[in-house]
């Protein structure tokens, strides 16, 4: 399989090149030249397959022979060694809990898979890779854990100062070893701009081997399709259509679902649910994409004003806006509405949600028709947003032991302005 840039201004590359490079030279995003279709036999037997079996068959179709089947199976079994439960919340509404990995967030799926894939490819290379990651919270900790101690890889995390939760910040800044955290005076969009600009800087690319671990990396996107296929298979015996509601920021998670649908999973449609940064829902309503500066909310991982994966969304649909709005609806919730959803679901259904998950529930409840089934994506354990959630339910949230240990560790972060010149100087001086 070859991978092209969504901007279509540079030659296509192999899967290995797409993963290691992260971002094409024309500032597009890598996509497979052909999105393969699952066989009818595979789709029929889906309900009998484990998550790992589904992941293996899905990855094999796109990666083809660049990784041997034995090695690919080993990568998948190592990356996804935790539960992926689908729970019924009430009536025809279900939640897919993606927070059972090491960092208690859905980012573990992409980060752990990519770390193992990249480690596999680097076995035969003598060069050191410098991974740059912009994070609004959970991406950074998942990538840091995934690459911690991996030989031949340095990781630099950029996060917006004062705009991630305390627990998220501790996860980002306490690891050390080959992981460096930069506390940027700005927004997530500023962090993302620094990373993208670095990939286009000729001097940096001449001196450093740069790669990305954000959802702009194809190895982060691919595993996000696996859990949509898996979750849909668990509701295959229910009546009506099945819809997914995805808390949406940078759109990597939504594009993972769109990829699964294009590969043949009979998903009826999607709901992209956002917070006050409602650029994407506005697009579905007006068909005009209008990026702008992000604003801070209690669902901080979705505080994105210019989602990078929007170009992938357009690419999947060949820029056919009518097909896009036929498959995807958009909705947004402000902080007060998000708090109300957390309280409502806990009091009425005894299910506790983080602020991002609550927005997913709200979007599904708003659009789901009687007789159809719906799944909303739970992106993070509610304990990661303890300052928001505990006052709403007037109860203490138990913090898992692995997070309790992190909270007590000393923060190690380097302050950084949002000016690219400062970031570039840091990279050149520290590599």
- Number of Cα atoms under 13 Å in the Cβ half of residue 270: 29
Q: Residue 391 belongs to a domain with what CATH number?
A: 3.40.50.1100
To the nearest 10°, the Cα dihedral for 244, 86, 88, 379? -60
Tell me the per-residue pLDDT of 279-307, one tens digit each, with 9 for 90 and over.
999 999 999 999 999 899 999 889 999 99
- Residue 288 belongs to domain spanning: 84-105+220-399
Tell me the per-residue pLDDT of 381-421, one tens digit each, with 9 for 90 and over.
999 899 999 999 999 998 888 777 777 788 889 999 999 99
287 in a domain, yes or no? yes
208 in a domain, yes or no? no
Q: Measure Cα distances from 202 to 25, 199, 207, 210 in Å.
A: 10, 8, 9, 11
- 69-83, 207-221, 347-361: lowest mean pLDDT where? 207-221
Provide the pLDDT confidence category of residue 2 given band limits of 50, 70 and 90.
Answer: very high
List, in sequence order, every residue forming a beta bridge with 134; answer none if it has no partner: 158
Query: Does the annotation mark 107 as catalytic?
Result: yes
pLDDT for 239: 65
Highest mean pLDDT, choosing among 104-113, 200-209, 310-319: 310-319
pLDDT for 144: 81
Are the C-beta atoms of 160 and 184 separated by less than 8 Å?
Answer: yes
39 in a domain, yes or no? no
Are the C-beta atoms of 310 and 317 separated by less than 8 Å?
Answer: no
Rounded average pLDDT over 46-70: 96
Q: What is the DSSP letter of 164?
A: S
pLDDT for 212: 74
pLDDT for 13: 97
Tell me the per-residue pLDDT of 329-373, one tens digit each, with 9 for 90 and over.
999 999 999 999 999 999 999 999 999 999 999 999 999 999 999
Calpha distance 350→365 (Å, rounded): 16
DSSP string covering 80-115, please? --S---EEEEETTEEEEE---STTSBTHHHHHHHHH
For tokens 């806006």, what's the residue? Answer: 321
Task: Identify the CA nearest to 88 among candidates 361, 347, 327, 277.
Answer: 361
355 in a domain, yes or no? yes
User: Considering 107, 154, 261, 365, which one is annotated as catalytic?
Assistant: 107
Rounded average pLDDT over 86-108: 94
294 in a domain, yes or no? yes
Rounded average pLDDT over 149-161: 87
**Alpha helices, H only, 235-354:** 252-262, 279-286, 310-316, 321-327, 335-349
272 in a domain, yes or no? yes
pTM to 2 decimal places: 0.87
Tokens of 389: 């959630």
340 in a domain, yes or no? yes
pLDDT for 311: 94
101 in a domain, yes or no? yes
Higher pLDDT pick, 74 / 25: 74
Tell me the per-residue pLDDT of 103-154, one tens digit each, with 9 for 90 and over.
899 989 998 999 899 888 877 666 788 889 888 777 777 888 888 887 778 8
Q: Whole-number mean pLDDT of the chain? A: 92
Give Cα 183 to chain centroid, integer Å.
21
The domain total for the chain is 1
- 62-66, 78-82, 87-91, 165-169: lowest mean pLDDT where? 165-169
């Amino acid at each position: 399989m070859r991978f092209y840039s969504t901007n279509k201004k540079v030659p296509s590359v192999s899967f290995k090149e797409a993963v290691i490079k992260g971002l094409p030279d024309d500032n597009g995003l890598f996509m497979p030249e052909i999105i393969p279709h699952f066989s009818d036999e595979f789709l029929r037997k889906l309900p009998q397959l484990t998550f790992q079996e589904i992941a293996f068959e899905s990855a094999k179709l796109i990666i083809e022979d660049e990784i041997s089947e034995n090695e690919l199976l080993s990568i998948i079994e190592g990356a996804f060694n935790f539960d992926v439960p689908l729970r019924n919340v009430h009536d025809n509404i279900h939640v897919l809990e993606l927070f059972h990995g090491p960092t208690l967030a859905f980012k573990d799926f992409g980060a752990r898979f990519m770390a193992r894939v990249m480690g596999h490819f680097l076995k035969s290379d003598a060069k050191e890779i410098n991974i740059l990651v912009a994070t609004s919270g959970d991406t950074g900790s998942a990538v840091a854990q995934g690459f911690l101690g991996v030989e031949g890889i340095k990781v630099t995390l950029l996060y917006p100062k004062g705009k991630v939760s305390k627990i998220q910040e501790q996860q980002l800044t306490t690891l050390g070893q080959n992981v460096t955290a930069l506390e940027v005076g700005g927004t997530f969009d500023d962090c993302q701009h620094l990373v993208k600009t670095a990939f286009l800087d000729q001097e940096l690319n001449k001196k450093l081997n740069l790669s990305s671990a954000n959802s702009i990396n194809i190895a982060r996107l691919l595993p996000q399709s696996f859990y949509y296929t898996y979750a849909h298979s668990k509701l295959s015996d229910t009546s009506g259509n099945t819809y997914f509601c995805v808390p949406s920021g940078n759109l990597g998670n939504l594009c993972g679902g769109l990829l699964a649908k294009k590969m043949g999973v009979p998903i009826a449609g999607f709901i992209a649910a956002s917070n006050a940064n409602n650029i994407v829902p506005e697009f579905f309503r007006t068909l005009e994409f209008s990026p702008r500066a992000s604003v801070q909310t209690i669902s901080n991982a979705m505080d994105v004003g210019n989602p990078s994966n929007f170009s992938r969304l357009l690419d999947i649909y060949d820029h056919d806006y009518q097909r896009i709005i036929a498959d995807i609806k958009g909705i947004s919730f402000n902080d007060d509405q998000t708090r109300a959803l957390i309280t409502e679901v806990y009091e009425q259904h005894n299910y506790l949600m983080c602020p991002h998950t609550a927005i997913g529930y709200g979007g599904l409840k708003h659009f789901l028709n009687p007789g159809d089934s719906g799944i909303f994506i739970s992106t993070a354990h509610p304990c990661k947003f303890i300052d928001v959630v505990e006052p709403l339910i007037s109860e203490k949230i138990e913090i898992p032991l692995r997070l309790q240990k992190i909270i007590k560790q000393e923060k190690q972060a380097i302050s950084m302005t949002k000016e690219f010149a400062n970031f570039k100087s840091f990279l050149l001086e520290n590599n």
